[in-house]
């Protein structure tokens, strides 16, 4: 008999949250790493894992980038001295060259910029953002089929190797 072991997580320990929906809805073309301007209560909430990245996108205006739609739920202790706003727009910190590349790419038809991940880099919170093109419905079906086929191949290989 095999000993039951804990299932290993595929997410590294420095990852705070991932936006898996973005990989399903978009073809990710190019990725960037940006700093996120946060308040103190937001950092504490991130350490507790109270964040949701579904339906987040990056909004570019006047040479600045903003993260829109990220929900950081406050801890109970935060509401005593601050009035927390979970859905506020947060500024992303990028250099001018990266901002220029993002502005040029998003001005093209069909391309947008989405946040795919929040992670720790030392004591700083970084956002991984990506230039993306929207997938059509048939592309999404193809992605699901290939993912299912890969899973099935892994099962067959694993079962044949053990015997």
2-45 pLDDT, tens digit per residue, is 455 555 556 567 899 898 888 888 888 889 999 999 988 888 88
CA distances from 52 to 18, 96, 120 (A): 8, 28, 16
pLDDT-based confidence at 160, cuts 50/70/90? confident
Return mean pLDDT, the chain: 84
pLDDT score of 1: 45
Q: What is the pLDDT of residues 54-74, one digit of tens each?
A: 888 899 999 899 999 988 888
Average pLDDT value for residue range 90-94: 93
Distance from C-alpha of 13 to C-alpha of 98, rounded to nearest angstrom: 27
Please compute the mean of the pLDDT values over residues 71-88 and round it to a whole number. Answer: 78
Using DSSP, state whether 91 is helix, strand or coil: strand
Q: Where are the alpha helices (DSSP H) in the chain?
A: 20-25, 40-48, 96-106, 137-162
List of domains in the chain: 15-136 (2.40.280.10)
CA gap 82, 64 in Å, rounded = 26
Higher pLDDT, 134 or 61: 61
Judged against a pLDDT cut of 60, whether residue 110 lies above it is answered with yes
């Amino acid at each position: 008999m095999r000993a039951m072991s804990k299932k290993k997580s595929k997410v590294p320990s420095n990852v705070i949250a991932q936006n898996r929906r973005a990989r399903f809805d978009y073809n990710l073309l190019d990725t960037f790493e940006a700093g996120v301007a946060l308040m103190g209560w937001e950092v504490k909430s991130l350490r507790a894992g109270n964040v949701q990245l579904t339906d987040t996108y990056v909004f570019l205006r006047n040479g600045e980038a903003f993260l829109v739609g990220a929900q950081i739920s406050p801890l109970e202790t935060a509401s005593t001295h601050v009035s927390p706003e979970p859905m506020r727009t947060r500024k992303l910190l990028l250099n001018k060259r990266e901002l220029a590349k993002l502005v040029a790419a998003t001005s093209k038809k069909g391309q947008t910029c989405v946040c795919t991940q929040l992670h720790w880099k030392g004591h700083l919170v970084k956002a991984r953002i990506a230039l993306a093109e929207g997938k059509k419905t048939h592309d999404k079906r193809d992605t699901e089929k290939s993912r299912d086929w890969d899973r099935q191949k892994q099962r067959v290989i694993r079962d044949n190797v053990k015997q």
